[in-house]
Amino acid sequence: MTDHTAVAAELDAESADWLRALAGTGPQREEALARLHGLLLRIALGEVARRGPRLRLTGPELDDLAYQAAADALVAITSKLGQFRGESRFTTWAYKFVIFEVSAKIGRHFWRHPSVRLDAEGWERLPDQFGFDPAQEAEWRDLLAALHRAVDQELTVRQRRVFVAIVLNNVPLDALVIELASSRNAIYKTLFDARRKLRAALAANGYIGDDGGRCS
């Protein structure tokens, strides 16, 4: 809310050229579309290569994903040209669409070869998730038992489901968005509220320092 203060600005010459060409007709528009697609594809290929080492995707799958992301981004951009307000260069605004498309497609791809079941609860993995040393279990056993109780007693059904999927089962947030037919914002907000509740519960019982906040 308070951050949302950018206002429409005068376009730089390059951005104005892009808008003029893409809003036009005939060969000039076709040339601009082809040029923009080329840029988007280059960004998409770079982005999947950047993320690739952390994904279970191979070369051809990464390339397919990049081509799909560039094509879908081009459609989204041309349908939303009127929303570009000149707050950045046109190309930066356009690149955002293809980055978001790459993220969404990676989230969708997760369920093609899922390594977890959403109804499974990997509580035994929790110490490892946060890096607790097994040799010092006597020091953290009570804390994690209290966390487990708080998850069971303090969270709503939906908050618990999101916590279990993301924290215990390592489901990527964007993949959970697909599975729950939700949005990144809604899932993040659900987890944000769960984190705040869990901290308050642990603080009330003296396990952790007390502070917190709220997310819009």
Partner 1 sequence: MNGWSALDRFLRTDPRDVGCAQAMEMLHIYAELAAAGAPVEERYPGVAAHLRACGPCAEDFEGLLAAVRGKAH
Q: Which residues of this protein are in contact with partner 1, per CB under 8 A?
A: 1-4, 6, 43, 46-47, 50-51, 87-89, 91-93, 95-96, 99-100, 102-103, 127, 130-133, 140, 143, 147, 167, 172-174, 183-185, 188-189, 192, 195-196, 198-199, 202, 208-209, 211-216
In the complex with partner 1, the residue whose CB is nearer, 71 or 143, is 143
Exposure of 2 in the CB half-sphere (CA atoms within 13 A): 1
Q: In angstroms, how far is CA 3 from the centroid of its own chain?
A: 20
Question: Measured between alpha carbons, how far is residue 143 from residues 6, 95, 105, 128 in Å?
Answer: 44, 44, 37, 14
In the complex with partner 1, the residue whose CB is nearer, 112 or 214, is 214
| HEC per residue, 6-70 | CCCCCCCHHHHHHHHHHHCCHHHHHHHHHHHHHHHHHHHHHHHHHHHHHCCCCHHHHHHHHHHHH
In the complex with partner 1, the residue whose CB is nearer, 24 or 123, is 123
Exposure of 7 in the CB half-sphere (CA atoms within 13 A): 1
Shortest distance, position 186 Cβ to partner 1, whole Å = 9
What dihedral angle (degrees, nearest 10) is formed by the CA atoms of 114, 118, 124, 128?
A: 50
In the complex with partner 1, the residue whose CB is nearer, 28 or 170, is 170
In the complex with partner 1, the residue whose CB is nearer, 121 or 127, is 127
Shortest distance, position 7 Cβ to partner 1, whole Å = 11
In the complex with partner 1, the residue whose CB is nearer, 24 or 46, is 46
Shortest distance, position 99 Cβ to partner 1, whole Å = 5
What is residue 4's three-state secondary structure?
A: coil
Shortest distance, position 91 Cβ to partner 1, whole Å = 6
Shortest distance, position 127 Cβ to partner 1, whole Å = 7
79's tokens: 């349908």
State how far the Cα of 140 lies from the Cα of 44, in Å rounded to an integer. Answer: 43
Which residue is listed with tokens 């992301």?
69
Shortest distance, position 82 Cβ to partner 1, whole Å = 15
